[in-house]
Structure 1
Amino acid sequence: MNTTATSRFADRGTDIDVLRVFCAGDGRFGNALGVVRDGRTHPDEASRQALAKELGFSETVFVDDPERGAVDIYTPGVRLPFAGYPLIGAAWLLDLEVVRPQAGEVWVRGDGEFTWIEARAEWAPPRTLRRYASAEEVDALEVPEPGEWIYAWAWEDEAAGRVRARGFPGRGDGIDEDEATGAAALLLTAELGRALNITQGLGSQLLTAPGPDGLIELGGRVRLERTMTI
């Protein structure tokens, strides 16, 4: 975190857990997530948006009720009704069976290695799914100019459902590339209609599986990177 953020919020005593969500099998990679366990430290939308911007993570989640799983999600620039990796991270950290973002009730399960949520693709913010001919083409992409949110993908092994992907938010808020994007994985799964094993960014792993009634399971590994007070 930069020194500006430290000085601006130092008197608030806000505890923030920094997680890595959608880690690879060896614990590396994953997308950095800030979790403010006590949302009362930033009780309104303006203060939460300011903190999310200062922290600079792809997303920051504020916990409003840890027993009910009520959470509030922000990127550095906007509030989100739903996002995959903040919900997986918060559920893992707080050991929850259900999380409740603005979009609705999201059920959670764990299998020892992965934490899974059940969600609907229509909850995901808009993403442009752009298919390429090979994983090598995806690897070679340059960060595009700010504009639409692009999820670039290609089959690594179509028969096995293995996908290579990169996410470019295009927001111009300092997040040029998203290391792991659960919402985009939901959209891609809904479009293809099958379970996927996605490698995104530097090596993060996202798993998906279509379920009944339009639900999609989204799973990943989580680890606690550090806890800080600002």
Structure 2
Amino acid sequence: MVDSRAAMDRAEEVLDRIRSRTSPRAIKAHRRRVVGFFRRLRLAFFAVLGVALAGGMIGAFVTPLGIWGFFLMLIAMAIVFFGILGWPQAPEPTPQQMAKSDLPLLPSQTERWLEAQRLALPAPAQRLADEIGIKLEALGPQLAKLDPREPAAHEFRKLMAEELPELVEGYKQVPEGMRRAERNGSSPDRQLVEGLKVVDDELRRMGEQLVSGDLDKLATQGRYLELKYRGAEDQRD
């Protein structure tokens, strides 16, 4: 019976991994990488075309290229093509960069940062991260119209650039073998899920208040994360 239960747990873990790779947010991140690749491919094509045109003009109006000039032009075309194609994508934003970014850019930066952390999270937390990403995407146009000096803007920035990274980074510091261990009626996995629920609820409330235009209510009713991973720190101790 114990072996049967363990097998079911392992099967559930495998299913969770499969779901995590086929979630809407994971599909969107993959699509963004594909679009970025084809954008670089198009840029590389036009750059190679430019090198070829420049070489042709030099051969026609300045001096004949000759065999060696032709080979040099091919080498230059190859360097330009593979250099642009292999150019690394923009690195994922850090919480420090997020804290200093313009308010309209903060939702998309937080969404990208959260996607980069996704595989380090347990399955229930991954689903919550997906929901947070959807809410961030919806909040973007509303925050673009918000004065960054408003208390509501400060609250959103604190939640996204400070509280959320503290929650996730605190969880990642816990050794994997101790993340499910119960201590004082909770575990790091459960604390992470509860903390992400707080973030998700807060984003939903922010969205409702921004839509209604009640910024005073948004500023005064803000609720910061209640979980600071004290339990996770106890686990490490």
Higher strand share: 1
Higher helix share: 2
The two structures have a TM-score, normalised by structure 2, of 0.22
Determine which structure has more spread, i.e. the larger CA radius of gyration: 2
The two structures have a TM-score, normalised by structure 1, of 0.23
User: Which one has more relative contact order, counting CA pairs under 8 Å at least 6 apart?
Assistant: 1
